[in-house]
């Protein structure tokens, strides 16, 4: 049996059939951020097969246009929008190469997941629903512009580079939300900031200049067991960030045990709360038991502090490793500066909204810690609904980094999406929702980055809402997508398109 068929056979018989057909095909095409040409080309082939106009740009963004159903030619042009890339996270024991292999899917109750990896429901299900709409010749719908962007997960780079002058939409239905029954109508702006500290090639130093080579012991240190999660939607959950914890632990060790430091690494995505982080330490062999005891005490402290969120936190300490690694330790000055930075760098919630009680206004997340031959770098995802506070947070990190001999770079900056008091599209969605569900939906403004802000900023008068089916634990290997919710949301989407088709364009 073909590997792709084998890995999607669990979707057979699910409703809506064509949505799950396309979602299954999408999961078998590697499409992590920065690796989106193949999935983009797949959409091109879809457009060609169905004789639809398409435009694929150099970044691999793609626009597919479908004329209105008969009689709806004068209805408002409606954009269906989602992103092609996914966050690629996996468990340590996963043997999948997410740059080359399709996902291994399984169904458990009402949920679809992938074995030991992220599923990519964020945002594969949006693409699948849009393709199903574009394919169906029986639907009643307005003129449609399906817009699939790339590299949303690493700073909305595709939406930023897309030439929006070729779009004529009046309404924007973004399909990148993860909570059925909630309509997102505003969001924070954001940016990625990377703080880099240069390294110099040097000889491995003696500890305090006093220890014989035979007394030196290399150990690996790993903070693991953190639950992780989305750095916007779940920044208020008080979940542990492994990079922050590693800094705290190394600071404690530095106050009690002399050591050399090398190979700081952790996290995987700036917009995901880091689940693991580690380092190599060179200590005196006689200090190993003292280090074990300190790690044990710290683990118990963390298990108490994060008992409600990250009860599985562990510190894995190992000296059964290469005792002559081909890596250089950081200089004493660089080590002290790095430990200072890791212990005082801002992370988490900075401000709550004064206008929306309980809403996070400004935050940041350190999601990647990486050592190369040239530098040690920290990548942050910064979010705020107030542009000046986003700028101030970037400035604070710049001052701290430069004071310690580093440099910063800022990329992927995107605008926020301001809530509209009056929205024809939102009113339409609320009406259809109340008829289908017999209850009122929730109208939200959230602390997440959504591409709507990019389109609103470039297309004057555009009216937008973001919606989607229930998903849990996105950006983690525990990600799961509700089967029944997808069916309900797709039914809802079709009725919304039908209602828009009956309207006259302004």
Pair 203, 304 in one domain: yes
Residues 440 and 359 in one domain: no
Q: Look at residue 75 and tell me if it is in a domain.
A: yes
* Domain shared by 150 and 183, yes or no: yes
In degrees, rounded to 5, the angle at the alpha carbon of residue 434 between the alpha carbons of residues 432 and 439 is 155
More confident: 455 or 213:
455
Per-residue pLDDT, averaged over 207-222, amounts to 72
Angle, CA of 180, 18 and 125, to the nearest 5°: 40
Q: How far apart are CA 144 and CA 114, in angstroms?
A: 31
Is pLDDT above 80 for 4? no
Mean pLDDT of all residues in 287-314: 97
β-bridge pairing 229-230 and 272-273: antiparallel
Q: What is the pLDDT of residue 201?
A: 59
Separation of alpha carbons 58 and 80, rounded Å: 21
Shared domain check, 290 and 368: yes
Q: What percent of the chain has pLDDT over 90?
A: 83
**In a shared domain, residues 381 and 351:** yes
**Residue 1 pLDDT:** 62
Average the pLDDT over 280-309 and give the result.
96
The CATH number for 421's domain is 3.40.630.10
> Which of the two residues, 357 and 502, has the higher pLDDT score?
502
What residues have CB less than 8 Å from 319, skipping those under 6 apart?
217, 218, 219, 220, 288
Residue 86: per-residue pLDDT: 97
What residues contact 1, with CB distance under 8 A and at least 6 apart?
none
Cα-to-chain-centroid distance, residue 121: 12
Pairing of strands 360-371, 260-267: antiparallel
Domain boundary among 373, 389, 414: 414
Same domain for 164 and 175, yes or no, is yes
Better-predicted residue by pLDDT, 230 or 483: 483
pLDDT at 203 over 50: no
Residues 387 and 287 in one domain: yes
Q: Is residue 3 part of a domain?
A: no
- List, in sequence order, every residue forming a beta bridge with 316; answer none if it has no partner: 222
248: containing domain: 190-414
Is residue 282 within 8 Å of 263, Cβ to Cβ?
A: no
Question: Residue 151 — very low, low, confident or very high, per pLDDT cuts 50/70/90?
Answer: very high
For residue 283, give the CATH number of its domain: 3.30.70.360
Pairing between β-strand 272-273 and β-strand 277-284 as defined by DSSP bridges:
unpaired
Catalytic residues: 85, 152
Q: For position 77, what pLDDT does the model report?
A: 98
pLDDT at position 211 is 46
337/443 Cα distance (integer angstroms): 45
Q: How many CB atoms lie within 10 A of CB 5?
A: 11
406-417 pLDDT, tens digit each: 999 998 788 888
pTM of the model: 0.73
Q: Which of 6-10, 126-130, 167-171 has the lowest mean pLDDT?
A: 6-10
Last residue of a domain, one of 370, 396, 414: 414
Contact 449, 88 (CB under 8 A): no
Q: Give residue-wise pLDDT tens across range 320-339.
A: 888 888 888 899 999 999 99
The mean of the pLDDT values for the chain is 93
8 A C-beta contact, residue 361 and residue 353: yes
pLDDT at residue 154 greater than cutoff 90: no
Confidence of residue 208 (pLDDT cuts 50, 70, 90): very low
Distance in angstroms (rounded) separating the CA atoms of residues 88 and 168: 33
Does 166 lie in the same domain as 75?
Answer: yes
N-term to C-term CA, the chain: 53
pLDDT score of 505: 58
* Closest by Cα among 483, 448, 490, 488 to 177: 448
Cα dihedral 176, 178, 182, 185 sign: negative
Residue 353 lies inside a defined structural domain of this protein = yes
Q: Which two tokens stand for residue 360?
A: 């996070």
- DSSP summary character for residue 10: G
**Which region holds residue 206: left if phi is over 0, alpha if psi is between -120 and 50, else beta?**
beta
Q: Is the pLDDT of residue 146 over 60?
A: yes
Task: Strand 144-149: give its sheet, edge to edge.
Answer: 53-56, 62-66, 144-149, 78-83, 171-174, 463-466, 182-187, 442-446
Average pLDDT over residues 288-294: 97
CA–CA separation, 439 vs 436, rounded Å?
A: 8
Domain limit, last residue, from 395, 414, 433: 414
Q: Which pair of structure tokens corresponds to residue 48?
A: 């060609």
Asked, for residue 44, whether it belongs to a domain, the answer is yes
The pLDDT assigned to 7 comes to: 87
Which residue has better confidence, 386 or 43?
Answer: 43
With a cut of 60, say whether residue 207 has pLDDT above it.
no
Average pLDDT over residues 361-370: 97
Find tokens 């809402």 and name the residue.
465
* Owner of token pair 């935050």: 363
SS3 (DSSP) at 408: strand
pLDDT at 204: 46
Q: Is residue 344 domain-shared with residue 461, that is, in the same domain?
A: no
- The rounded Cα 487 to chain-centroid distance in angstroms is 25
Distance CA 310, CA 303 (A): 7
The Cα–Cα gap between 374 and 361 comes to 35
Q: What percentage of the chain carries pLDDT values higher than 70?
A: 96
Question: Are 343 and 428 part of one and the same domain?
Answer: no
Same domain assignment for residues 292 and 320: yes
301/314 same-domain check: yes
As a whole number of angstroms, the longest Cα–Cα distance in the chain is 87
3-state SS, residue 76: coil
Task: Give residue 324's pLDDT.
Answer: 81
Cα→Cα distances 165→162, 457, 460, Å: 9, 12, 11
Q: What is the pLDDT of residue 209?
A: 47
Beta bridge partners of 481: 112, 471
Residue 497 CA to residue 493 CA, distance in Å, equals 6
CB atoms within 10 A of CB 353: 17
**Does residue 208 fall inside a structural domain?**
yes
- How do residues 161-194 score in pLDDT, each as one tens digit? 999 999 999 999 999 999 999 999 998 998 999 9
**pLDDT band, residue 107 (cuts 50/70/90):** very high
Whether 384 and 189 have beta carbons less than 8 Å apart is answered as yes
Q: Is the pLDDT of residue 270 over 60?
A: yes
Residue 212 pLDDT class (50, 70, 90 cuts):
low
Domain total of the chain: 2
Residue 348 inside a domain? The answer is yes
Residue 14 lies in a domain: no
Mean pLDDT, range 436-447, rounded to an integer? 94
Note whether residue 103 is domain-resident.
no
């Amino acid at each position: 049996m073909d590997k792709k068929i084998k890995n999607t056979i669990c979707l057979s018989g699910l409703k809506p059939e064509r949505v799950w057909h396309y979602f299954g095909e999408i999961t078998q095409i590697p499409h992590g951020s920065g690796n989106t040409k193949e999935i983009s080309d797949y959409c091109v082939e879809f457009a060609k097969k169905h004789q639809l106009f398409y435009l694929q740009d150099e970044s691999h963004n793609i626009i597919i246009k479908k004329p209105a159903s008969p009689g709806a030619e004068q209805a408002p042009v409606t954009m269906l929008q989602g992103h092609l890339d996914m966050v690629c996270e996996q468990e340590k024991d996963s043997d999948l190469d997410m740059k080359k292999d399709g996902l291994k899917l399984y169904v458990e109750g009402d949920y679809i997941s992938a074995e030991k990896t992220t599923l990519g429901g964020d945002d594969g299900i949006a693409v699948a629903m849009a393709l199903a709409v574009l394919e169906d010749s029986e639907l009643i719908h307005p003129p449609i512009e399906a817009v699939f962007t790339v590299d949303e997960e690493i700073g909305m780079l595709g939406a930023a580079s897309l030439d929006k002058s070729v779009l004529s939409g009046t309404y924007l239905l973004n399909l990148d939300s993860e909570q059925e029954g909630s309509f997102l109508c505003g969001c924070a702006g954001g940016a990625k900031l990377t703080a880099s500290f240069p390294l110099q090639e040097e000889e491995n130093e003696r500890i305090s200049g006093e220890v014989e080579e035979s007394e030196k012991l290399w150990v690996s240190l790993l903070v693991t067991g953190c639950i992780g999660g989305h750095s916007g939607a779940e920044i208020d959950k008080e979940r542990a960030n492994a990079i922050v914890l590693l800094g705290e632990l190394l600071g404690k060790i530095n106050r009690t045990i002399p050591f050399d430091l090398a190979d700081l690494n952790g996290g995987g995505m700036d917009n995901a709360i880091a689940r693991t982080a580690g380092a190599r330490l060179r200590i005196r062999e006689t200090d190993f038991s003292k280090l074990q005891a300190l790690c044990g005490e710290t683990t118990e402290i963390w298990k108490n502090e994060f008992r409600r969120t990250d009860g599985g936190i562990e510190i894995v300490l190992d000296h059964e490793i290469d005792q002559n690694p081909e890596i250089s330790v950081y200089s004493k000055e660089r080590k002290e500066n790095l430990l200072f930075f890791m212990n005082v760098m801002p992370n988490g919630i900075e401000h709550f909204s004064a206008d929306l009680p309980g809403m996070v206004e400004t935050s940041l997340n350190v999601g990647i810690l990486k050592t190369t031959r040239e530098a040690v770098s920290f990548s942050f995802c910064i979010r705020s609904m107030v542009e000046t506070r986003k700028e101030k947070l970037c400035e604070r990190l710049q001052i701290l980094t430069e004071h310690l001999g580093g440099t910063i770079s800022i990329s992927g900056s995107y605008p926020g999406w301001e809530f509209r008091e009056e929205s024809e599209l939102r009113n339409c969605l609320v009406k259809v929702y109340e008829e289908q569900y017999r209850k009122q939906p929730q109208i939200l403004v959230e602390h997440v980055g959504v591409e709507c802000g990019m389109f609103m900023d470039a297309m004057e008068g555009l009216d937008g809402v973001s919606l989607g089916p229930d998903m849990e634990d996105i950006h983690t290997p525990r990600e799961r997508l509700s089967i029944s919710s997808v069916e309900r949301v797709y039914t809802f989407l079709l009725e919304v398109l039908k209602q828009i088709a009956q309207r006259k364009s302004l």
